[in-house]
Structure formats: structure tokens, C-alpha cells
């Protein structure tokens, strides 16, 4: 028995117990792998609830007259995608923040397993991905320096509680002071909520919590 066939048999002991190891077992292994690669139609996640901190203020959403999308963490054109065309993406879920000074603001999102996405950990095995980091005036010149964006792609996000935190990392020498941060959440291509939270230098605030299933 070759090593490869032995491994296939280990994985498919039921099939191997009935078949010889010269061909059918490896055939079966190949069939299983190919089946796993077939894309599945996945139901989008659904928002159960969203609760902002008492310090956050809801931004009214008015889609009677959608306007052109700009890169501001608001779904201006009301298609359920936050800042489409700005160079960062959506997916099963999207959390986007923008802010109004040259400060460096950091976004943290903690999922149901307690794993936190941020600049320190830009991806998780469950499909979470930090796909845009802004450093305000602390970084070298970059596009959308006052935006951070996290999205879930590849596989459906796990159901459960998600917590969104903001941290005022630094004033970046020449700018900063009190900073207003806009936070938007989209779940299954629908806007779950949009809020503004004011932050002082050094503050870290849990700005909202949402539940999906
Ligand atoms: Ca949009
Ligand atoms: Ca926008």
C-alpha cells in the first residue's frame, strides 16, 4: 500500500473496508474532494438585533432620495453596500468606520468565538478580513486614510454576538482632539445600523453589539 493510498484509507475507512486499495479507494477520495469544491448556495446571514452604546447617536437613514456614493462609511446610494467603489469591499457582512480629524482611529470587531479582528489580526479562519486600515495623519499619504473596513467573505459568518469597538490610537502630532467616528454595519447586504460616536485621545469604547443568525 502506498503512503497516499494509506492516507486515503484512513480518511475513508468505510469505503476502503469494502474495496481493494488498488484503485477504487483513491477514486472515492478524489470524488469526495471534488464534491467539497462545488460552490454551495449559501443563505445570507440575517440580523437579529443591533444595540448601540448609550454614548452613540443613531444617524437617520433616508433612502427616499439616494445620492451618489462617497467614501464616508455611509451607504449613500442605498444599495446595502457601504462605500461601494471606494476600493474596499463588502461580503456577507461589513463594518466600516470613518472619522473627521487627522487622528489615527482603530476598529476592532470581536466574533462569537471571542476572536478579534483589527490591524493586529487582519483575518480569522471564519472568513473575517480587515481589508482597509486608515492611519489618519500618522501614516504616509494614502487613499482613504480616515477609513477602516472589515468584511466577511468566503464562508457564511457564524451566528452569534459581534462586538464593535473603537480606539483612539493617537493624535498624529498636528491634529486630533475630539473626533467624531461614523460606524456602519451591513448584514446580508442590508444596512443594520449607522451611528456616530465621539472619542477623546486614548479612549477605547465598545460602540455597538449586534447579533446575527
Ligand atoms: Ca452603497
Ligand atoms: Ca458612502
Domain boundaries defined on the chain:
3-37, 47-212
Distance, CA 92 to ligand 1 centroid (Å)? Answer: 14
Q: What is the pLDDT of residue 173?
A: 79
What pLDDT score does 126 carry?
82
> All 3 cell numbers of residue 143?
487613499
Q: How far is the CA of 81 from the centre of ligand 2 (A)?
A: 9
Measured in angstroms, how far is the CA atom of residue 146 from the centroid of ligand 2? Answer: 13
Distance 141 CA to ligand 1 centre (A): 25
Assigned CATH for 47-212 = 2.60.40
pLDDT of residue 143: 93
What is the model's pLDDT at position 40? 57
Distance 71 CA to ligand 1 centre (A): 10
Would you give the end-to-end CA distance of the chain in angstroms?
46
Ligand whose nearest atom lies closest to the CA of 82: 1
Identify which ligand lies nearest to the alpha carbon of 80.
Answer: 1
Contact between 166 and 196 (Cβ < 8 Å): no
Predicted local confidence at residue 47, as pLDDT: 98
Name 4's Cβ contacts closer than 8 Å, sequence gap at least 6.
Answer: 26
Confidence at residue 142, expressed as pLDDT on a 0 to 100 scale: 87
* Alpha-carbon gap, residue 117 to 108, rounded angstroms: 6
How far does residue 75's CA lie from ligand 1's centre (Å)? 4
Q: Buried b / exposed e across 71-109, counting CB within 10 Å, b at 16+? A: bbbbbbbbbbbbbeebebbbbbbbbbbbbebbbbbbbbb
> Per-residue confidence of the chain (213 residues) as pLDDT tens digits?
444 444 444 444 434 333 333 434 444 444 544 445 545 567 899 999 999 999 999 999 999 999 999 999 999 999 999 999 999 999 999 999 999 999 999 999 999 999 999 999 999 988 899 999 999 999 878 899 999 999 999 889 999 999 999 999 999 977 789 999 999 999 999 999 999 999 999 999 999 999 999
How far, in Å, are 58, 108, 142 from residue 157 at the CA level?
25, 16, 30
Residue of 125, 96, 90 lying closest to 208 (CA atoms):
96
Give the number of whichever ligand sits closest to the CA of residue 96: 2
Counting ligands in written order, the one closest to the CA of 73 is 2
Q: Which three cell numbers stand for residue 213?
A: 443568525
The closest alpha carbon to 103, from 165, 195, 168, belongs to: 168
Amino acid at each position: 500500500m502506498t503512503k497516499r493510498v494509506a492516507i486515503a484509507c484512513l480518511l475513508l475507512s468505510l469505503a476502503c473496508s469494502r474495496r481493494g486499495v488498488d484503485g477504487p479507494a483513491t477514486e472515492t477520495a478524489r470524488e469526495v474532494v471534488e464534491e467539497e469544491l462545488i460552490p454551495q448556495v449559501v443563505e445570507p446571514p440575517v440580523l437579529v438585533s443591533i444595540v448601540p452604546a448609550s454614548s452613540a447617536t443613531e444617524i437617520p437613514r433616508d433612502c427616499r432620495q439616494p445620492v451618489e456614493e462617497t467614501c464616508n462609511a455611509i451607504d449613500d446610494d442605498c444599495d446595502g453596500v457601504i462605500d461601494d467603489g471606494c476600493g474596499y469591499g463588502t461580503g456577507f457582512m461589513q463594518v466600516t468606520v470613518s472619522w473627521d480629524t487627522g487622528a489615527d482611529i482603530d476598529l476592532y470587531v470581536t466574533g462569537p468565538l471571542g476572536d478579534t479582528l483589527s490591524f493586529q489580526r487582519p483575518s480569522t479562519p471564519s472568513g473575517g478580513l480587515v481589508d482597509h486600515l486608515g492611519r489618519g495623519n500618522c501614516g504616509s499619504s494614502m487613499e482613504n486614510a480616515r477609513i477602516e473596513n472589515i468584511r466577511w467573505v468566503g464562508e457564511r459568518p457564524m451566528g452569534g454576538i459581534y462586538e464593535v469597538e473603537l480606539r483612539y490610537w493617537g493624535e498624529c502630532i498636528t491634529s486630533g482632539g475630539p473626533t467624531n467616528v461614523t460606524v456602519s454595519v451591513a448584514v446580508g447586504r442590508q444596512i443594520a445600523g449607522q451611528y456616530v460616536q465621539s472619542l477623546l485621545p486614548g479612549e477605547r469604547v465598545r460602540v455597538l453589539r449586534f447579533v446575527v443568525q
